[in-house]
Amino acid sequence: MALGFLDRSRTVAPPGWSRWLIPPAALSVHLSIGQAYAWSVFKPALESSLDLSGTASALPFQLGIVMLGLSAAFGGTLVERNGPRWAMTVSLLCFCSGFLLASLGAAVEQYWLVVFGYGFVGGIGLGIGYISPVSTLIKWFPDRPGMATGIAIMGFGGGALIASPWSAQMLESFGSDNSGVASAFLVHGLVYAVFMSLGVLLVRVPAEGWQPPGGKKPQEQQASKPLVTTANVSARNAVRTPQFWFLWVVLCMNVTAGIGILEKAAPMIGDFFADTPTPVSASAAAGFVAMLSLANMGGRFVWSSTSDVIGRKNMYRCYLGVGALMYLGIVLLGDSSKPLFIACALVIISFYGGGFATVPAYLKDLFGTYEVGAIHGRLLTAWSLAGVLGPLIVNWVADSQEAAGRSGPGLYGLALSIMIGLLVVGFIANELIRPVNSKFHEPAAATAAGPGSGEERKEATGR
């Protein structure tokens, strides 16, 4: 399908190529598409210049996240088959042309074009870009897959940190009317196209038979960690295993619990300490949100790297078990101590980020490297559901508690208790994960033929 420069065969690393060039390639894509989380910077300008409601101005972001999940789930096999350079190119074209379309939409005051461009077209770029470097990083770092995917997925968290002040400065320079927004979108599209091109040019897949220097061979890893397989499972078969669905529940519960606190962080810390001698001001609450962003980003790298040492299952025991205890700490003691509240929230959010970053390595352990990117794409549907569930639970419960006459920490007690329950469900699901039954393993010949071949083979034979 992909020919010439973009073809997988053209991206095989020459002898001597360093694997340490792959993380910056991945980061150039993830730091760009992570801009999605800074969409809120454009909301006030769009609302005033195009006379939109808050709900309407959120539409491009919401559609973008829906398209992220859908394109990652349905495009994963194509990404595996055509290779990372093809995937990064598709991501670049979609993400950046999404900005250009949005720019045109803002310029001619056609908001539907902003929604279609940024949300639909750009959203495809988000999904394909998110999974594009995952399997390549895992293949280059079989000895440290958690660290490798942690770097890339940390970039997705870092993207908003860069875009947020940068976009705000741009709106300040160009103005907040529709032509100013159009100019800002245009510059975003062009700059991100240049920035992401590094990934397209730099990414390489390891040559057949390549081994990491001084790293353990997969057989040695399997001997020390029972969940680490040397076999391979196709994406089509992976979704038929209980392991996939247990991990789906684990990710969904961990993300739901994290989003719950992330969504309401600023009002929550204000409400918790409103009736104390040291209430939290609006600027301090903004500082708290910034601290959470740091924890989210740092957790992606630190905890995912830690999982290479202690194992994926143990790491998720921490995310879900210790995370539940942190929530309990906030429920029982949160309003008595500001440092305790902040510390618990930081740990919870670092686990939220860590959960995202560790899951590709967990998938690699269970299903092998054969189509791990495609399997990861399918698993990200858990994120889509969690993105709806988390804010829904916290906001609905807080509203109902307010209607019942409660205030301060009382607004959140029930919602936080629900989060503890969700984390316990995730903890149990993680405990149920066992090695994948060998009947799902691909024959060696199919995996040698390359990703996607297993699916084609089954379709051809009707299995």
| Residue 81 · residue 135 · CB < 8 Å | no
Map tokens 């800074």 to a residue: 38
Name residue 12's beta-bridge partners: 205
Q: Which of 294, 340, 385, 425 is close enough to bind another protein by CB under 8 A? A: 294
Q: What is the DSSP string of 66-78?
A: HHHHHHHHHHHHH
Beta carbons within 8 Å of 50's beta carbon, 6+ residues apart: 106, 109, 111, 178
Closest CB 351 distance from another protein, rounded Å: 19
- The one-letter code for the residue type at 290 is A
Closest CB 142 distance from another protein, rounded Å: 12
What binding mask, one character per residue, do residues 102-141 give for another protein by CB under 8 A, x or -? --------------------------------------x-
Q: Where does this chain touch another protein (CB under 8 A) — which range of 64-72, 204-212, 248-256, 417-425?
A: 204-212
What binding mask, one character per residue, do residues 298-337 give for another protein by CB under 8 A, x or -? ----------------------------------------
Q: Which of 4, 55, 112, 208 is close enough to bind another protein by CB under 8 A? A: 208
Please report whether residue 290 would count as binding another protein according to CB under 8 A: yes
Please report whether residue 84 would count as binding another protein according to CB under 8 A: no
Residue 441 φ/ψ, nearest 5 degrees? -70, 145
The burial of 109, by beta-carbon neighbours within 10 Å (0-12 exposed, 13-18 middle, 19 or more buried), is given as middle
Closest CB 393 distance from another protein, rounded Å: 26
Closest CB 289 distance from another protein, rounded Å: 8
Please report whether residue 219 would count as binding another protein according to CB under 8 A: no
Q: Would you call 12 helix, strand, or coil by DSSP?
A: strand
Please report whether residue 250 would count as binding another protein according to CB under 8 A: no
| Residue 19 · residue 147 · CB < 8 Å | no
d(CA 457, CA 460): 5
Q: Which of 16, 54, 405, 462 is close enough to bind another protein by CB under 8 A? A: 16
- The one-letter code for the residue type at 438 is S
Nearer to another protein, 213 or 405 (CB): 213
How many CA atoms, within 13 angstroms, populate the side-chain half-sphere of residue 450? 14
Please report whether residue 266 would count as binding another protein according to CB under 8 A: no
Q: Would you call 369 helix, strand, or coil by DSSP?
A: coil
- Residue 37 DSSP one-character state: G
Q: Which of 210, 239, 314, 417 is close enough to bind another protein by CB under 8 A? A: 210
| Residues making contact with another protein (CB under 8 A) | 13-21, 24-25, 27-28, 31, 140, 155, 158, 161-166, 195, 198, 202, 206-213, 279-291, 293-294, 342
